[in-house]
Amino acid sequence: MTHSLHRSGSIESLRGDYVWMMYQTRGINDSNIPEKAREIIAVAEACDSENWGDVKVGSVVAVPPEELKKILRKESRVRGVFTSRRQVVKFLRGVKEKDTGLSMIISGLLDEVLPACREAGVEPHTINFSLGVWGKKELLPGDDVMAITTMCGHHMISPDFVRKMADAVRQGRMTPGQAAVKLAKFCPCGIFNPVRAEKLLAEKSPGKAEAGKEAGGTVA
Amino acid sequence: MAVVNVEKCTGCGNCVPYCTVRAIRVEDKMARIDPGCCTECYVCMREKVCPVGAIEAQPLVGFGEIFKHTLSDPTETLKETGVPGRGTEEAKTNDVTGRFRPGEVGVCIDLGRPGVGTSMRDVEKVAMAVTAAGLEIEGPENSPIGLVLKDRATGRLQEEVLDQYLLSMIVEGKCPVSGLPKVLEALREVEKQIDTVFSLGLVARTDANGHTPVLEILEELGLPRPIRGKVNVGLGRPLAG
């Protein structure tokens, strides 16, 4: 999967968006995963991770955290999101100290993540570099909508859903925070950043420039 | 597969904006799902998208349908790789697997992403173009593309999946760093021949500062220096050599 790599948006907005992920390798370091995952979650919670989850059971915006921790399994892959470099540094120091032996990944702006690694005393091993979007780019929605849809890299959040939520905010039927949480519930991994989404919904009214495009459906 | 129960559907249209590929529309006061466009991601069956539960999953028939659903719904797991989502781990476990070694570069061509979807015929065009340029596409143990390759030497896919439309599909493989310019040149050509988009990622071992010769190659080719990356911070054990 490269579901956290190609998040889009302004540089300023992306400075508030860092995905963390925990990975085991089948048959090599996949023993005691629920216990190790709970250790990593404890570190993430101490760093005020804005969202976290496991794709198989959902994220904390939809399922109570204590319930999620109980149902972790050998196959669980826990991941979440931070909004600041400070949190990333604290998290990396914490997981290094826990020494679970699991692979840890931070996805974000390289001019933030690499200094964070140095500060935390960990060394990059391998990087997947994003070269952006190629091909028939005229099929893409506007940048402001895509800044939100790409926060669920599996694309469980459609551009029309974002426009629907933006309309609800503009019309005063939802707060930006409520709309952000509703969007986040569709990202089962827990890497959707509700804090960044709330800001984008409040500041930019995504989809406004595309008002003439087919939005489809009624607003709930 | 996702189908509308005509006995339950009220034609309210609430489901329409949630569809990830605009496969649902309301006609004659009834929601209808275009099976040729639907990727079977099953978003329409979550979080009470349908207030009366009129969208239901019927059993998937045949490898093509199962493959489409599994690759489009991240809550599923591709049994062949054991990895949820689209069944691939690229850089994420490379500190333990050592799959990408110094001097090699991984190329992850994420077709249909972000949010457009892709036909498997376009996947085949790209797979054939990069194979001809020297990319060694991953086998079935590491990546779903390996499961549907008919011929690894050409990048041709199995006929039974060619008519499927997926939310996304990764063509991934690796080559020597020295071979990267030819692969990127092939991508520059084939991007003009497909009816979708792809997000491109390059996987490389780096030094402690995140540097790799791959960045110099990008500069020589006039491609922008990547600003985003997914950084494996090397805490996995046992550490691969």
Measured between beta carbons, the chain B residues lying within 8 angstroms of A157 are 20
Domains of chain A: 11-120 (3.30.70), 137-207 (no CATH)
For domain B85-220, which architecture applies?
A: Alpha-Beta Complex (3.90)
Measured between beta carbons, the chain A residues lying within 8 angstroms of B15 are 217
- Can you say how many angstroms the Cα of residue B186 is from the centroid of all Cα atoms in its chain? 19
Measured between beta carbons, the chain A residues lying within 8 angstroms of B93 are 23-25, 103
What are the pLDDT tens digits along chain A (220 aa)?
Answer: 457 899 999 999 999 999 999 999 989 999 999 999 999 999 999 999 999 999 888 999 999 999 999 999 998 999 999 999 999 999 999 999 999 999 999 999 999 999 999 999 999 999 999 999 999 999 999 999 999 999 999 999 999 999 999 999 999 999 999 999 999 999 999 999 999 999 999 987 777 655 444 433 322 2
Smallest Cβ distance to B233: which of A124, A129, A188? A124
pLDDT of residue A208: 65
pLDDT of residue A206: 72
Query: Does B232 contact A104 at a Cβ distance shorter than 8 Å?
Result: yes
pLDDT of residue A210: 59
Residue B64 forms contact with A (CB below 8 Å): no
Residue B237 forms contact with A (CB below 8 Å): yes
Measured between beta carbons, the chain B residues lying within 8 angstroms of A21 are 92
Residue/partner pairs of B99-103 with CB below 8 Å, 24 or more apart: B99/B142, B99/B174, B100/A126, B100/B174, B100/B203, B100/B204, B100/B205, B101/B205, B102/B205, B103/B176, B103/B177
Q: Tell me: the pLDDT tens digits for B83-132? A: 555 556 778 899 999 999 999 999 999 999 999 999 999 999 999 999 99
Query: Can you tell me the ipTM of this complex?
Result: 0.95
Average pLDDT over residues B151-167: 94
Residue B191 forms contact with A (CB below 8 Å): yes
Query: Does A5 contact B15 at a Cβ distance shorter than 8 Å?
Result: no
To test the contact with chain A by mutation, choose from B29, B143, B233, B237 the residue with the greatest count of A C-beta atoms within 10 A, namely: B233
Please give the share of chain B, as a percent, with pLDDT higher than 90: 83
B29/B12 Cα distance (integer angstroms) = 7
Query: Does A136 contact B83 at a Cβ distance shorter than 8 Å?
Result: no
Query: Does B236 contact A25 at a Cβ distance shorter than 8 Å?
Result: yes
For residue B62, name the pLDDT band (cuts at 50, 70, 90): confident
- Nearest partner of A12 among A146, A90, A112, judged by Cα: A112
Query: Does A124 contact B170 at a Cβ distance shorter than 8 Å?
Result: no
pLDDT of residue A218: 28
Give the predicted TM-score (pTM) of the model. 0.94
